[in-house]
A and B are shown apart, each in its own frame.
Chain A
Amino acid sequence: MTGSVQVRLPALVATMFPDAPRLLAVEASTVAEMMDRLDAQWPGLKDCFCDSRPAIRRHINVFVAGRRVGLDATLPPGADVYVLTAISGG
C-alpha cells in the first residue's frame, strides 16, 4: 500500500535545485519509489542521491525511524525520512 511520507532533504540540495523545498510529502512505499517521485518533480535529483549500481551514494545517508536504510527499504505511511549528506570534504 502506498502512503504519504515526510521527506527532509539536505540543505545542499537547495543550491542545486533552488525550487526544491527542504520538507515535503511524497507518495511512496519504498525508498526507491520515493527517489523516483522526487526525480519526477526535480529531474536529476535522483542522480544526486543514487548511483547506477543502483544504490544510495556512498556519502549520502537515508534514515527512517532512526535507522540507516537502502533503496529497498519499505516506508510505512506517515514515515519521517531524512536524506542527509555525510561528513565529507577537506
Chain B
Amino acid sequence: MANTVLILVGTRKGAFVLESDAARKEWSLRGPFCETWPMNHVVGDPATGTIYAGGGNEWFGPAVWRSDDAGRSWSHSSQGLAYPEGETPVRAVWSLGLRNGSLYAGVEPAGLFESRDGGKSFSHVAGLREHPSRPEWQAGAGGLILHSMVLDPDDHDRIWVAISAAGVFHSADGGRSWEPRNSGTRCDFLPEDQRYPEFGQCVHCLVRAAGSSGRLYQQNHCGMYRSDDAARNWRSIEAGLPSTFGFPAAAHPRDENTLFLAPLNGDTAGRFMPEGKAAVWRTRDGGETWQDLRAGLPQHNAYLSVLRQALATDTLEPAGVYMGTTSGELYASADEGESWTQVASHLPGILSVETLARPG
C-alpha cells in the first residue's frame, strides 16, 4: 500500500519532485534540482526509492543524476556514456529504464547504455548501433534520439527501443542483435509508394501494456498503433481520435486495454491541443473506441502541447494520470482521467513526467 506518491518532472531547466499522500489531492513541490540542467527523463525505482535523472548540458555534456533521498541531494556520473573516438559524441541522455538491477539509458545520437552499479558507470550496448540500417537513420526535429524503451519484466533478454526517426527495434538476446519491427506503421512524409519501409518511421512513444500479454502501443508521428505480437505487426487504432498526431502514450498500471493519449492538432498546424481545448483521450478497449476527458482541463484558448515523455500513470487504485505541458503546467487526475486539477504552473517547459509510489 503506497503512502507516498511522487511525481518526477524533467524540465528544460532542472528536475522537480512533487509529493502527496495516497489521496493525491494536495501536492508539495521541490526543486529545481540537477543544477538546472535540461532533464529529459526522471524515473524512480519502486524497489529502493532511488531517483535517476537523465539529461545533457550544453557545456558539460550528458549525465545521469541520482538521488537516494527523494530529490533532496544528488550525485552525477557520465562515466562510460561515450561512443568510441571519432564518432559523433553523446550529446544527452534521453530515456531511462530499470530492470533486474540494471539501469538503461537511451541517448542522442541514438544508442543504448547499461549500468549495473546504480548509475555510477555505464557500458555501451553496442549491438544496436551495429545494425546495418544505422547509417540511414534520420534525425527527427528533436534530434536522433532513443526516447522510449520497453524492458520485458519476465524475459530479461528482450528489449524494444524506439528511435526518432528510425523506428522500433527489438532485441531478443539482451541487446547483442537487433531487428526493426515497424510492419504496419506508415510514413506519410515519404513518397506514396514508399510509405511502409522496414525502418525509418517517426515513432514518438512506445509503451508496454499491463499484464502478461506483452501488448505494445505506439504513438507515431503518423498514427496510433497497437501490436499483440511483440511488435512484429502493428495495426492502426487511430479511428475515433481527433488527430493522428501526438507525442506521448501512458499505459494503465493493471488493465492492458486502457491507455491514455494527448493528441495534438497535427504536425503542420501548431501541434496544439485541438481547437485550443485541452483533453486527454482514453481507451478502455485496446483502442477500438476513444473517450475525451476534459473535466478540470482548460477549455478556452489552451494552446497546450505535451511532449513524448510527459504523460504518466501511477500504480494506485484508482490509477492516477499526470500530464505536463511545454508551457510548464502540470495536471493530475486521481480517478483515471475523469477529473483533473492543475498541481503546478509556471515551471520551465516540461519534458517528462513519471511517478513513484512508496510505502513510506
Contacts and interface: CB of A to CB of B under 8 A. Distances in A.
A44 B77 contact: yes
A52 B79 contact: no
At the interface, is chain B mostly helix, strand, loop or mixed?
loop
Interface stretch (B24-32, B55-63, B145-153): B55-63
Given A16-B35, A53-B85, A53-B86, A47 B58 contact: no
Interface in A10-66: 10, 12, 15-16, 43-44, 47-49, 51-54, 57-60
A56 B76 CA distance: 20
Interface in B54-84: 58-61, 63, 76-79, 81-84
27 contacts: A16-B35, A16-B76, A43-B79, A44-B76, A44-B78, A47-B60, A47-B63, A47-B78, A47-B79, A47-B81, A48-B59, A48-B60, A48-B78, A51-B61, A51-B82, A51-B89, A51-B90, A52-B84, A52-B87, A52-B89, A52-B90, A53-B85, A53-B87, A57-B60, A57-B61, A60-B59, A85-B59
A86 interface: yes
Contacts of B58: 58-59, 88-89
B90 A12 contact: no
Contacts of A49: 60
A24 B98 CA distance: 40
Contacts of B79: 43-44, 47
A15 B65 CA distance: 13
Contacts of A12: 35, 59-60
A57 B90 CA distance: 11
A55 to B, nearest CB: 8
Interface of B: 35, 58-61, 63, 76-79, 81-87, 89-90
A48 B60 CA distance: 4
Nearest to B89: A51
Interface residues on A, range: 20 to 34
Interface string A71-88: 000000000000001101
Of B60, B76, B81, the most chain A CB neighbours within 10 A belong to: B60
Q: Which are the 6 A-B pairs with shortest beta-carbon distances?
A: A51-B89, A52-B82, A48-B60, A47-B78, A88-B58, A52-B89
Contact of B60 (A16, A43, A52, A89): A16
Contacts of A48: 59-61, 78
B150 to A, nearest CB: 28
Contacts of A86: 59
Nearest to B77: A44
A46 B346 CA distance: 35
B59 A57 contact: yes
Of A15, A47, A48, A88, the most chain B CB neighbours within 10 A belong to: A47
A47 B77 CA distance: 9
Contact of A53 (B59, B77, B78, B89): B89
A48 B90 CA distance: 12
Contacts of A58: 58
A44 B89 CA distance: 16
A15 B59 CA distance: 13
Contacts of A89: 58
A12 B83 CA distance: 25
Contacts of B81: 47
Contacts of B82: 47, 51-52
A48 to B, nearest CB: 4
B264 to A, nearest CB: 23
Given A57-B59, A88-B58, 9 more contacts: A44-B76, A44-B77, A44-B78, A47-B61, A47-B63, A48-B78, A51-B61, A52-B82, A53-B85
